[in-house]
Amino acid sequence: MSDDTQKRVILSRDPSRKTKGEARKDALRRWPLYAAGAIALVTLVAWIDGGEEPIRPIAEKVTLSDATSVPVPVERHG
């Protein structure tokens, strides 16, 4: 094969296009970046939207029935 033919063969392939194998390798290399970006985005939204809410006491008045009026069964073993 002469040098001219070899140059034509090499230049006939568009260098900007990648084969399927190359594209798959690039995608496998990029997924950690996408995952880190998604985690950062969720963390940022939670930080902006979250914040500290004031604590309010949860107290209600409860009426108790007379403890002596309700019999409580007692199990005895022995």
pLDDT digits (tens, 9 = 90+) for 30-70: 889 999 999 999 999 988 888 777 778 888 888 877 665 66
Indicate whether 29 belongs to any domain. yes
DSSP summary character for residue 9: H
Range of the domain at 35: 18-50
Indicate whether 36 belongs to any domain. yes
Indicate whether 41 belongs to any domain. yes
Q: What pLDDT is attached to residue 33?
A: 92
Count of the separate structural domains present in the chain: 1
- CA–CA separation, 73 and 2 (whole Å): 104
Indicate whether 44 belongs to any domain. yes
Indicate whether 26 belongs to any domain. yes
Indicate whether 25 belongs to any domain. yes
Indicate whether 27 belongs to any domain. yes
Q: What pLDDT is attached to residue 34?
A: 93
Q: What pLDDT is attached to residue 40?
A: 97
Residue 71 has pLDDT above 80, yes or no: no
Indicate whether 13 belongs to any domain. no
